[in-house]
Amino acid sequence: MLNKIANLHKLCFPDKPWDAEEFASLQRSGAQIIVSKNGFIVWRCAADECEIITIGVHPDYRGTGVADALLQLIEKEISAKKIFLEVAENNHAARKLYERNGYKQIATRPKYYDNIDAIIMEKRL
Ligand X SMILES: CC(C)(COP(=O)(O)OP(=O)(O)OC[C@H]1O[C@@H](n2cnc3c(N)ncnc32)[C@H](O)[C@@H]1OP(=O)(O)O)[C@@H](O)C(=O)NCCC(=O)NCCS
Per rule CB under 6 A, is residue 97 in the interface with ligand X? yes
The two beta strands, 82-88 and 49-57, are parallel
Q: Taking CB under 6 A as the criterion, which residues in 71-90 touch ligand X?
A: 87
Q: Which of 50, 67, 80, 118 binds ligand X (CB under 6 A)?
A: 67
**Angle at the Cα of 69 from the Cα atoms of 77 and 27, rounded to 5 degrees:** 45
Name which of 79 and 114 has its Cβ closer to ligand X: 114
Q: Is 7 in the site for ligand X (CB under 6 A)?
A: no
Per-residue binder mask for ligand X (CB under 6 A), 23-62, x = binder: --------------------------------xxx----x
In this structure, are residues 57 and 96 in contact, taking their beta carbons and an 8 Å threshold?
Answer: no
d(CA 8, CA 110): 29
Pick from 76, 1, 93: nearest CA to 40: 1
The span from the CA of 42 to the CA of 31, in Å, is: 7
- Measured CA to CA, the distance from residue 106 to residue 98 in angstroms comes to 13
92 binds ligand X (CB under 6 A): yes
CB of 79 or CB of 101, closer to ligand X: 101
Q: Among residues 6 and 87, whose Cβ is nearest to ligand X?
A: 87
Binding residues vs ligand X (CB under 6 A) = 12-13, 55-57, 62-63, 66-68, 87, 91-94, 96-97, 100
